[in-house]
């Protein structure tokens, strides 16, 4: 299969297809067992999943409130990257840790997506336990422009 550039994907394809290309590029760059993108409405404390690499288990389905915990403090309030490298650490912050474990996943990186000092969403990348260190974080940060493009395209598609 011919590799499609990320720029080309976001310039010429619908959001779901562009995000699929983004997922393929991510998976070639570092360990990825699940990739989702979420739009965040901090005022209403709601998140909307706008892309999922596994829609059977993590479908695109409306909005959900997010809990007040260490993850919320780090990603939502402080707008910093959250990393957990064990299922025990994931269990402390995510209610769906059993689903994550059933997928064979146990590490997560959540990258807040920020425009003009405002959090607009997060890129959520999961893999097997112990997979994420500084090198993987640096690699994933190189995809930040496309996480931003995807969330902006979602907003445009909604008519905002």
The pLDDT-based confidence of 102 (bands split at 50, 70, 90) is: very high
Torsion of the alpha carbons at 42, 111, 25 and 56, rounded to the nearest 10:
-50
pLDDT at 1: 37
| pLDDT given at position 85 | 97
Q: How far apart (Å, rounded) are the C-alpha atoms in residues 147 and 81?
A: 14
d(CA 76, CA 112): 7
Model confidence at 30, pLDDT cuts 50, 70, 90, reads very high
Question: Are 125 and 32 contacting, i.e. CB atoms less than 8 angstroms apart?
Answer: yes
- 38 - beta bridge partners? 49, 122
| Total-model pTM | 0.92
Closest by Cα among 99, 107, 114 to 144: 114
Q: Is the pLDDT score of 111 beyond 60?
A: yes
CATH class of 6-158: alpha beta
Banded model confidence at residue 157, pLDDT cuts 50, 70, 90: confident
Given a cut of 90, whether residue 50 has pLDDT beyond it is yes
CA distance from start to end of the chain: 35
- The rounded percent of the chain whose pLDDT value lies above 90 is 78
> How confident is the model at residue 104, as a pLDDT?
98
């Amino acid at each position: 299969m011919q590799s499609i550039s990320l720029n080309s994907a976001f310039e010429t394809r619908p959001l779901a297809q562009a995000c699929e290309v983004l997922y393929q590029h991510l998976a070639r760059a570092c360990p990825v067992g699940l990739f989702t993108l979420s739009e965040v409405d901090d005022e209403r404390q709601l998140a909307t999943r706008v892309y999922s690499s596994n829609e059977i288990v993590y479908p695109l389905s409306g909005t959900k409130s997010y809990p007040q915990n260490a993850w919320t403090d780090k990603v939502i309030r402080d707008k910093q990257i959250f990393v957990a490298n064990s299922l025990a650490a994931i269990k402390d912050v995510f209610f769906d840790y059993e689903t994550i474990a059933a997928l064979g996943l146990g590490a997560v990186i959540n990258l807040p997506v920020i425009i003009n000092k405002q959090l607009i969403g997060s890129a959520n990348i999961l893999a097997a336990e112990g997979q994420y260190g500084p090198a993987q974080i640096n690699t994933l940060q190189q995809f930040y422009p496309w996480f931003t493009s995807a969330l902006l395209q979602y907003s445009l598609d909604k008519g905002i």
